[in-house]
Amino acid sequence: MRLKKAFLKTRKSFLAILPVIAGMMLLTGLILQFVPIQALSSLMGKSKALDALSGALLGSVSAGQPLISYVLGGELLASGVSLVAVTALIVSWVTVGSVQLPFEVMMLGRRFAIVRNLISFVFSILIAILTVSTLSLLGVAL
């Protein structure tokens, strides 16, 4: 009886949210096709300080497999973009969810979702600076 009640409750929660999950997946596909991620990356390579910010911004508006960020990061690094910027991109790619933000707002509340993503954005830059500084201290070059 308890199991049946729990099953019905879980099914109800799930069915209520399925249209949003379907909508978010469709929206992610649309954003990735129509937002020119590659073109945005051309903004980088101008100044080291701005690069970190651009990297974090680029990663934040992106979604999809982290592998894409590794490939894109590798290409940017080869074309002279700083490692701090590339790291900010890689970290914000997996920790900041601008594309998923509407869903997070719906699930966990507007204030929590926005503040959490802002914190994650700032942290992606801090992690990038720390990672590159530590590599430098250890004498490791990429």
**CA separation for the pair 68, 58 (Å, rounded):** 12
DSSP state, residue 64:
S
What does each C-alpha distance from 86 to 17, 27, 32, 76, 140 come to in angstroms? 35, 26, 19, 7, 16
Site for other proteins in 50-109 (CB under 8 A): 64-67, 70-71, 73-74, 87, 90-91, 94-95, 97, 100, 102-104, 106-108
In a 13 Å sphere around the CA of 131, the CA atoms on its Cβ side amount to 18
Binding other proteins (rule: CB under 8 A), the pick from 1, 2, 39, 80 is 2
Tokens standing for residue 35: 């937002």
Asked if 30 interacts with other proteins (CB under 8 A), we say: yes
Write the binding mask 34 to 53 for other proteins: x where contact by CB under 8 A, - elsewhere. x-------------------
Q: How far is the CB of 40 from other proteins (least distance, A)?
A: 17
Q: How far is the CB of 141 from other proteins (least distance, A)?
A: 9
Q: How far is the CB of 79 from other proteins (least distance, A)?
A: 15
**CA separation for the pair 127, 135 (Å, rounded):** 12
Residue pair 122/91 in contact by the 8 Å Cβ criterion: no
Asked if 19 interacts with other proteins (CB under 8 A), we say: yes
Helix, strand and coil content of the chain, in percent to the nearest 5, comes to 80, 0, 20
Residues found near other proteins in the complex (CB under 8 A) = 2-3, 6-7, 9-10, 13-14, 16-30, 32-34, 64-67, 70-71, 73-74, 87, 90-91, 94-95, 97, 100, 102-104, 106-108, 111-112, 115-116, 119-120, 123, 126-127, 130-131, 134-135, 138, 140, 142
